[in-house]
Structure formats: C-alpha cells, structure tokens
Amino acid sequence: MKARVLVLFAFALVLSTSSAAGQVVPEPANAISLDGVQLQLGQSRDQVFAYLGNCCLLRKFGTGDDWSVKSKGADTEDYGQVSFSNGKLALVSKDWATGGEDAFTFVQTLHGALEQLGKGVEDTCSVYTNNTRTTVVEYRTITLSCGAKKLVVETSQFFAGEYKGTESTTIQELLLSAGIQ
C-alpha cells in the first residue's frame, strides 16, 4: 500500500505543480513554472529574463548559455535552471526538493516502487531506474519521461572520501527540447 501511494505521488508531481495557495494546478505539457512564472520551450532569452527578473536572481554558469534561477532575498532558494540555444529556451529544470535523511529514506522507497512499476510499462510515459556504485559513492536515479517532460529523483550515499557518511536527495522536473537528454 505504501508503495502505491508513493507511485501515485510521483506521477502527480509530473503532471502538476503547486500554486502559491498550496493547491495543485494543472500545467500544460510543454511548460514548467518557476516561482509562479510559466516557461515554455522556444521563448526568447529576453522574454524569459523579463519574466524571471521580477522574482528571481539569474546567474550564468558553465560555458554555454546556462543560467541558475534562485529566489531573491536573504534566504536564497534554488528554483532550478534555464538554458538557451540560439537565443531560444531549450531547457527548464525545476528543483522540487533537495533534502537530507528524511527525504533520502523517501526516495529509497520510491526508487524500489518505481523500479517494479517500470518493468513492462509501455505507455506514453516511461520509467527508468539506474544504480551506479563506486568505492566512494552510490547513486540511485529514477527518471519518469512523458514527452518533453522528465521527473528525475536521485539519491547519493558516500562511503569514503571527503563526504563519507553524507546522504543527499534531489527531485527535479525537466522540460527539454528535442535532442537534449
């Protein structure tokens, strides 16, 4: 029963976003909202910057046209990132959660449930799971793909090195242009 609830929760995250009032609001399949700003692939860089500039801090990173999106104010919160190709929005990444041990336990359970669900799913949405383990770290990743949208849930557990004993969790919603993985 617990696994079913977690699976339904994961699919609800893919298909919806939370409004400021805490209600679940349907979101178009080709859009993601960052701090209430609805973004769609193909929007111009100027348009995206104008929309996000009112609510968020935009910081360039990397060598491409990639920008982190954070809240304004003393307690800066990561909302996600946007990337452009030829001046057009090509990727939106929304950070749903980054957490510690409580979230880690949640994602481990969700991983197991979705790994079972992913066996034999042949619908418009696909579920992929991946485990990668080295002598230093283990990553467990769940990816729900539905058209241009993906939900990526990942845990990291460090066994050695500088971060030994550290566990972390991320949940990200992605909106991707064709050809970007």
Q: What is the pLDDT of residue 143?
A: 92
Nearest Cα residue to 153 out of 163, 164, 166, 168: 168
Tokens representing 83? Answer: 């990337």
In this prediction, residue 5 has a pLDDT band, given cuts at 50, 70 and 90, of very low
Q: How far apart are CA 93 and CA 152, in angstroms?
A: 10
Identify the band that residue 109 occupies on the pLDDT scale cut at 50, 70 and 90: low
Three-state DSSP at 154 gives strand
- Would you state the pLDDT for residue 96? 75
Claim to verify: residue 104 and residue 74 sit in the same structural domain? no
88 shares a domain with 17:
yes
pTM of the predicted model over 0.75: no
Instruction: Give Dmax (Cα) for the chain.
Output: 47
Residue 101 sits at the vertex; the CA angle it makes with 95 and 104, to the nearest 5 degrees, is 55
The pLDDT score that the predictor gives to residue 22 is 34
- Based on the domain organization, do 111 and 166 belong to the same domain? yes
Count of domains forming the chain: 2
At 72, which amino acid appears?
Answer: K
Last residue of a domain, one of 47, 74, 92: 92
- pLDDT recorded at residue 112: 67
Residue 181 binned pLDDT confidence (cut-offs 50, 70, 90): low
| Average of per-residue pLDDT values in the chain | 77
Q: Residue 98: what pLDDT?
A: 64
More confident residue, 75 or 135: 135
Q: Is residue 2 part of a domain?
A: no
Q: Which domain holds residue 15?
A: 11-92
Residues 15 and 79 in one domain: yes
Q: What average pLDDT does range 72-95 have in this prediction?
A: 88
- Which of the listed ranges 1-5, 109-113, 130-134, 140-144 does the model predict with the highest average pLDDT? 130-134
